[in-house]
């Protein structure tokens, strides 16, 4: 018996040695092969000068994206979202405590930093109030009334996976907020959770297009007949790529997505960079009126501002046509908005950030007395209580977020959105990666994120001395100036208001 055990052990050792030898030979063979490839190729100088070893440069460069956020970057250093911001969303989504200890890591001397004005007499608990209901499109056949403060911004099925859209829909239904479809059409997964839906018409008219890519009124009417579809949003542009249409790689265009969007299978789906039929403010108002007439539902548009001049022209055109011609809402996206794929030249350099454009838009609409006829929906990195409260102070009626809800679903900012390799299953159509995203679990996180965000915006409001978030005004926030002092938002934009008023009177 002992001899048999010894023989088996010896045999096992020999097999292990053989495997190690074969493995070593394979490694040596690969090194020799890589060496001759590297010294002969002419595309990469580093690999040519440092064969084999130079290949590791690309590996470490790729892995640096992940190591930075876990080991090297400070809590408030990273872009587009730092660890402190992501951590707050994760805790809120998991319904964990969002309290911190020992003091803030946020610098309060950086120009542009927002500080809220606490009242010596904060609102008492018995005075707290829920955000009141707001009606959008009062003159439509089917106006939309909602008290929802924070909502899900446009993310299309295609850019997002089926379980991600399902989880968002269910979570929105539980939280009582709306969900924007994005430009990819209306899928069954948007409807599954029973939430309110804002249907977006992008430049390619996905889901409501005819064979030539033009708007098909019959398909649009069919979409609007869904009771859950409450509003229609015409997308002119978005923050990450103003002047550029959507990009959906061929790898993501499967049979279901092709059917919903009415596009060819397994081909890159690239939207036009603008609506061919909207080339002026009058064209835009014509389109708004047409869509509203077909659907009977509140209709507005989404845009990024580069300057305010065309909004002034829009306001003048509305005055000439009459208030009934006005869009029911404007969704304003800041240049800091995100997307799964966009040219860096646009993402880095094009459009105004929301902290500049939102006050400009609100002031212009006020000067032409178009509010509350036109409601303002703010978008652009609004995923923490301070940013939402700031937008309300400036004059937004509603706030929408996309990446905030992606973090609620479990996004780790791996920056793989455009490669169909998202490790959290959110922006991929690889079934193996999607399997990790369980809609039932993530729907609860979406719900908790909304509820915690609204609650903490309320905490800021109560500290400012008002009973609910929408009561926040510009005098409740200050902005740090380059000289280190702070200025109330109401004072900062007062001069701008006066200039606009003078221009209107002229």
pLDDT tens digits for range 260-297: 998 888 888 788 889 999 999 999 999 999 999 999 99
| Other beta carbons within 10 Å of 145 | 11
pLDDT digits (tens, 9 = 90+) for 190-201: 999 999 999 999
Q: How confident is the model at residue 72 (pLDDT cuts 50, 70, 90)?
A: low
Enter the pTM of the model: 0.85
Q: In this predicted structure, what is the pLDDT of residue 222?
A: 96
Q: Cα-flanking dihedrals φ and ψ of residue 439, to 5°? A: -55, -40
Q: Is the pLDDT of residue 242 over 90?
A: no
Q: How confident is the model at residue 417 (pLDDT cuts 50, 70, 90)?
A: confident
pLDDT digits (tens, 9 = 90+) for 442-459: 999 999 999 999 999 999
Q: In this predicted structure, what is the pLDDT of residue 501?
A: 56
Q: How far apart are CA 432 and CA 423, in angstroms?
A: 10
**What b/e sequence results for 451-467 when a residue is b if at least 16 CB atoms lie within 10 Å of its CB, and e otherwise?**
bbbbebbbebbbbbbbb
Chain mean pLDDT for the chain: 87
Q: How far apart are CA 217 and CA 208, in angstroms?
A: 7
* Most confident of the ranges 2-11, 24-33, 39-48, 334-343: 24-33
pLDDT digits (tens, 9 = 90+) for 296-345: 999 999 999 999 999 999 999 999 999 999 999 999 998 877 776 667 77
State the DSSP string of 320-372: HH-GGGS-SEEEEEPTT---SS--HHHHHHSS--HHHHHHHHHHHHHHTT-TT
Q: In this predicted structure, what is the pLDDT of residue 108?
A: 85
Name the one residue in this structure whose structure tokens are 């221009």.
503
Q: Which of 486, 461, 458 is nearest to 476 (CA)?
A: 461
Q: Is the pLDDT of residue 419 over 70?
A: yes
Q: Tell me the average pLDDT across 160-174.
A: 95
Q: What percent of the chain has pLDDT over 70?
A: 90
Q: In this predicted structure, what is the pLDDT of residue 68?
A: 59
Q: Is the pLDDT of residue 474 over 70?
A: yes
Q: How far apart are CA 442 and CA 409, in angstroms?
A: 5
Q: Tell me the average pLDDT across 353-368.
A: 95
Q: How far apart are CA 347 and CA 306, in angstroms?
A: 13
Residue 338 CB burial class (10 angstroms; 0-12, 13-18, ≥19): buried
Task: Specify the 3-state DSSP secondary structure of 47.
Answer: helix
Q: Which of 348, 394, 388, 351 is nearest to 371 (CA)?
A: 394
Q: Tell me the average pLDDT across 132-158.
A: 94
| Sign of the torsion formed by the C-alpha atoms of 7, 12, 17 and 18 | positive
């Amino acid at each position: 018996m002992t001899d048999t055990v010894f023989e088996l052990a010896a045999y096992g050792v020999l097999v292990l040695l053989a495997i190690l030898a074969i493995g070593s030979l394979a490694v040596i063979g690969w090194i020799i092969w890589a060496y001759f490839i590297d010294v002969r190729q002419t595309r990469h100088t580093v690999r040519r000068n440092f064969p084999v070893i130079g290949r590791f440069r690309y590996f470490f460069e790729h892995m640096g994206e992940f190591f930075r956020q876990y080991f090297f970057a400070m809590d408030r250093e990273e872009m587009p979202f730092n660890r402190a911001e992501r951590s707050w969303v994760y805790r809120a989504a998991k319904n964990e405590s969002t309290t911190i200890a020992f003091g803030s890591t946020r610098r309060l001397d950086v120009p542009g930093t927002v500080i809220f004005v606490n009242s010596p007499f904060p609102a008492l608990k018995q005075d707290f109030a829920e955000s009141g209901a707001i009606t959008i499109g009062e003159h439509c056949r089917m106006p939309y009334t909602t008290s929802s403060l924070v909502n899900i911004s446009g993310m299309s099925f295609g850019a997002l996976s089926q379980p991600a859209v399902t989880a968002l829909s269910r979570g929105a239904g539980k939280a009582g907020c709306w969900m924007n479809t994005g430009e990819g059409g209306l899928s069954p997964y948007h409807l599954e959770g029973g939430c309110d839906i804002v249907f977006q018409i992008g430049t390619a008219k996905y889901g409501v297009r005819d064979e030539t890519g033009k708007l098909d009124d019959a398909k649009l009417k069919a979409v609007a007949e869904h009771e859950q579809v409450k509003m229609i949003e015409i997308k002119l542009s978005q923050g990450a790529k103003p002047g550029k249409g959507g990009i959906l790689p061929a790898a993501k265009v499967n049979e279901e997505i092709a059917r919903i969007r009415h596009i060819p299978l397994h081909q890159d789906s690239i939207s036009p960079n603008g609506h061919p039929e909207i080339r002026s403010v009058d064209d835009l108002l014509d389109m708004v009126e047409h869509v509203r007439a077909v659907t009977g539902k509140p209709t507005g548009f989404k845009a990024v501002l580069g300057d305010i001049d065309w909004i002034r022209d829009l306001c003048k055109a509305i005055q000439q046509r009459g208030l009934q011609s006005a869009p029911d809402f404007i969704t304003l996206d800041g240049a800091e908005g995100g997307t799964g794929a966009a040219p860096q030249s646009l993402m880095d350099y094009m459009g105004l950030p929301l902290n500049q454009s939102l006050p400009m838009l609100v002031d212009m609409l006020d000067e032409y007395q178009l509010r509350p006829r036109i409601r303002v929906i703010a978008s652009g990195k609004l995923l923490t209580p301070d940013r939402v409260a700031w937008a309300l102070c400036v004059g937004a009626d509603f706030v929408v977020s996309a990446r905030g809800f992606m973090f609620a679903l479990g996004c780790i900012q791996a920056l793989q959105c455009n490669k169909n390799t998202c490790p959290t299953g959110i922006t991929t159509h690889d079934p193996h990666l999607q399997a990790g995203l369980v809609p039932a679990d993530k729907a609860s996180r979406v719900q908790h994120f909304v509820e915690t965000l609204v609650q903490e915006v309320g905490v800021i409001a109560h500290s400012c001395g008002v009973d609910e978030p929408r009561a926040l005004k510009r005098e409740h926030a200050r902005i740090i100036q380059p000289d280190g002092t702070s200025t109330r938002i109401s004072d900062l934009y007062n001069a701008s208001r006066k200039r606009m008023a003078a221009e209107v009177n002229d």
